[in-house]
Amino acid sequence: MKLSMKYKKNIIILLRQLLLMIFICFFKISYCQVVDNYTETNAKQYLTSTTTLAPIEGIWLSDNGFRLSIEKNPENLPTGQAGGQAGGTRNAKRFRVVILSINYTSDFWKPGSIRAFIECTASPDIFYIDYFIGNHDTLKTETCTGHLEDEQLLKIKFSNNKTIDEITLYKVFPKQEDNSFTEKDIYSPAYGSGLFFTEDGYIITNLHVVCDAEDITVTGVNKDFKKKYKAKVIIADEVNDLALLKISDTEFKNLLPIPFAFRFGNVTQGEDVYALGFPDATEMPEIATLSDGKITSTSGVNGNNSFYRTSLRLRPGNSGGPLFDKNGNIIGINYMRINETENVGYAVNAKCIRALINISEDKPLLPFLNTVEEKPLLEKVRILSNYVCIVDCNNYFKFSSFDVEHVKVLGAKNTLDASDKAESYYSMALYNINRKDYGTALYNLNEAIGKGLRNTTIFYLRGQVRIILQQELNDAIEDFNYCLKNDTNTTYVGMYNYYRGATYDLLKKYNEAKSDYTTCINNNGEMVGESVVARALVNAELGEYDSAIADWDILLAKMNNNESTSKATIYFYKADCLLKINKPEDALTLINQALDIVTTDVRLWILRARIYFKLMQYDNTVRDINKSLSVDEVPEAYYVRSMAYKELGEKEKACKDFNRAVSSGYKETQSDMINYCENEK
C-alpha cells in the first residue's frame, strides 16, 4: 500500500519527536552534575552570610548515609565559581541538593555531586523533587515529593521505586534558634531510663534526659545499682527526642548477649504493650517498674507517625525506657506521660531509632535475635531488666530573666525542704515547657503547687499547659479563676479572661466563652485583637451571624494594606456568615475579593462553589470544586459537587461523588441526597 506524501511527512515528524525524546532521556539518565571543589566550608559560608534562608535550606544528614547541603540554586554564575559564593543570583523557588560527604565507599557519588533538585509548590511544606539515583553505569531521575514536617525534619517519599519507600533527612546546621530563653544557668539534677541494645555499651534514651548535661552516669548495669559508669552522647535527634549514648568508662565489661530484637513495623491499635523504667529512681533505685497497657493509636499528636500513643501509666523517670510487645520485641522508647488521672503516654517509634543509628559514625548493630519470645511475661521482665538502666545527669537549664525571678538556685543539695522542692519542680516545669514536653511540665507544675508554691504565674502556666494538651479543661478553668481572684493588675486580667474564654470554647460552652472574650475586649488590655477573632467565631457557633459579621468588620477596619492574607481569611469567614443569613450576592462579592488575594486555599473555592449552588449556578459550582480538588482532596468538595450534579441531572456522577464523600468521613449529608442515591440501588 502506497503512503501519501502528507502521511509520510507526519511519520517523519513523529520519528523526529521520538528521537528527540530518546536524546533527552539519554542525557537525563546518564549525566551527573558536579559542583567542582565544593566543600562544607563553602556551604556554611553561604548559609551564614544569607539573611533570607528558606526553612528547607541548611546542612542535612540522610538516613541512607549522605551529608547534604540544600540551598537555593545559583544561576548566572561567573566562570569558575565553586558554588556561586560571589556573583550570580539564587533562585528562591528552586533548590539544589549537594553531597558534602558519604558514609560509605561509592564509585559513583562524590562530594560536590548534585543529588537532587527541589521545586516549591503552593504549600510551603510540600515540594516536588527530582531525585537522582545512580551507579557506575547510569543515572536516572525519580520524581517524588518532599514533606518538611518541621524545620528540622524532611521526608522524601517515593511512589514508583521498588527498593526505596522513603528517605528521612535531619537538619544539623544551622541550629534552630530558640529566642524565648536567655542564657541564665540554673543547676538541677535530672534522670531518666535507658536501654542497652549492644553488648559493648550502646544505650538509647530520650534527648531531654541528657540535653545540655555536663556529666552523664549510668547505673543499674546488670542490676548493679552501686556501680556508676560514665557515658557520652554519640548522636542526637532533636526532632524525635532521641539520644544515642556509649559507655566511656574503661571499667565497663561487656554484657551478656542481647536477648531481644527490634520490631520496625506492623504495630496495630489495641495491641498489648509493656514498659520498663525507673520512675522512682530517687526512692527505689533498685526496682525497674513494669507498666502494661495497649497501643491506643499508631500515631502521636497531630497524626505524627514517628510516635505511638499508649494507655500506659508512666511518670517522668520512665522517659527513655523501652516499650516492648508481648513477645519481648522493642517497638519504641517511652517519651512522655500526659497526666496522672488518664493513662495516656507516648513512645518514639523504633524506626526513628534505626534512622538515628544509620546516620551515626559508629553504626552499632541492632540486635535481631529474640530469645525470650516463648518465655512467660514475668521471666521476660526478669531477663529484659538486665538491659534497662538509670541515666543520671546534671543539666544546666536556661531561663529568661523573668523566670529567674521565680526560681531559686538550688545547687547540689541533698536535703531540700518543702519550699525548695516546690521551686525545683517549678524550674523543671519551665525547662520542659521550653522543650515542648508539656506532659512532664504539667506533672512538675502539679508537684510544685502541691508542695506550696502558689502564685498567679504558676496557675496561669498550668492553665495554658492544660489548654495545649486539651486535657483537664475544667481544672484549667479553675486555674484561671484563681488568677482572676488573686491578681487585679489590668495588664494581665485581659489575658486571664482570654484564656479562660478559650478553655470554655474548647468545652463548647460558647456563651461563657463569649462573655470572657467580651470582658477582655471591653477592658482594652492584652489580647484584644485575639478576643475579637475568637468572639466572631463563637458568635457563628451560636448562630448569631449578624454579631459575627460586626466583629469581622471591626477587624477589617483596623487592618492595613500589608495584611492581605489576613484579610482573605476574614473575607472567608464573613462571606460564610452572609451565606447563612441568605445573602449569597454579598457573600460572592467578598469571596471573589479573597480569591484575588489567595488562590491555593481550598476553603475559598468550596465556599464559592456553595454560593454558586445557592444562586443555582450549578456549572460554576462544578468548576470551582474541580479547582479545589486540583489543590487538595477534601471530602466536603465531593459532597458539594454531588449536589450540583444532582441538580444537573447527572445521577451517576452525583452518587459516585456522594459515596466518595461519605466513605471519606464526611458526615453533614442531607436526607434528600441519601434517598436520591438509595433509590438508584
pTM above 0.85, yes or no: no
State the DSSP H helix or E strand holding residue 625, giving kind and residue range, or none if neither. Answer: helix 618-631
- Among 270-274, 445-449, 553-557, top mean pLDDT goes to 270-274
Please give the residue that has the higher pLDDT: either 594 or 288: 594
HEC string for 119-133: EECCCCCEEEEEEEE
Using 50, 70 and 90 to split pLDDT, how confident is the model at 479?
very high
d(CA 232, CA 221): 16
State the DSSP H helix or E strand holding residue 185, giving kind and residue range, or none if neither. Answer: strand 185-196
Please give the residue that has the higher pLDDT: either 335 or 406: 335
Residue 137 backbone dihedrals phi, psi, to 5 degrees: -95, -55
Contact by Cβ (8 Å): 241, 348 = yes
Across the range 497-506, mean pLDDT stands at 90
Across the range 222-227, mean pLDDT stands at 82
Contact by Cβ (8 Å): 535, 518 = yes
What separation in angstroms does the CA of 180 have from each of 183, 188, 426, 442? 10, 20, 17, 19
What pLDDT is recorded for position 260? Answer: 94
Q: 185 - beta bridge partners? A: 398
d(CA 10, CA 299): 56
If you search the block for the grid coordinates 560571589, which residue do you land on? 86
d(CA 278, CA 261): 21
d(CA 136, CA 199): 38
d(CA 351, CA 332): 8
Using 50, 70 and 90 to split pLDDT, how confident is the model at 342?
low
User: Is the pLDDT at 414 greater than 50, yes or no?
Assistant: no
Using 50, 70 and 90 to split pLDDT, how confident is the model at 434?
low
Peptide bond into 174 cis (omega under 30): yes
Coil, strand, or helix at residue 513?
helix
Contact by Cβ (8 Å): 237, 170 = yes
pLDDT tens, 602-657? 888 999 999 999 999 999 999 999 988 887 778 888 889 988 998 999 988 888 88
- Mean pLDDT taken over the chain: 78
What pLDDT is recorded for position 202? Answer: 96
pLDDT tens, 93-144? 899 999 988 866 666 788 888 999 999 887 778 888 988 886 545 667 888 8
If you search the block for the grid coordinates 438508584, which residue do you land on? 680
Across the range 351-358, mean pLDDT stands at 88
Using 50, 70 and 90 to split pLDDT, how confident is the model at 246?
very high
User: Is the pLDDT at 553 greater than 50, yes or no?
Assistant: yes
Contact by Cβ (8 Å): 116, 131 = yes
Coil, strand, or helix at residue 290?
strand
Give the burial class of 202: count Cβ atoms within 10 A of its Cβ; 0-12 exposed, 13-18 middle, 19 or more buried.
buried
Strands 322-325 and 272-277: antiparallel
What is the identity of the amino acid at 191?
Y
Q: 337 - beta bridge partners? A: 345
- Among 259-263, 425-429, 675-679, top mean pLDDT goes to 259-263
Using 50, 70 and 90 to split pLDDT, how confident is the model at 470?
confident
User: Is the pLDDT at 671 greater than 80, yes or no?
Assistant: no
* CB neighbours of residue 126 within 10 Å: 13
What pLDDT is recorded for position 339? Answer: 41
Residue 511 backbone dihedrals phi, psi, to 5 degrees: -65, -45
Q: What is the percent of the chain where pLDDT is above 70?
A: 78
Q: At a CB cut-off of 8 Å and minimum separation 6, what does 19 contact?
A: none
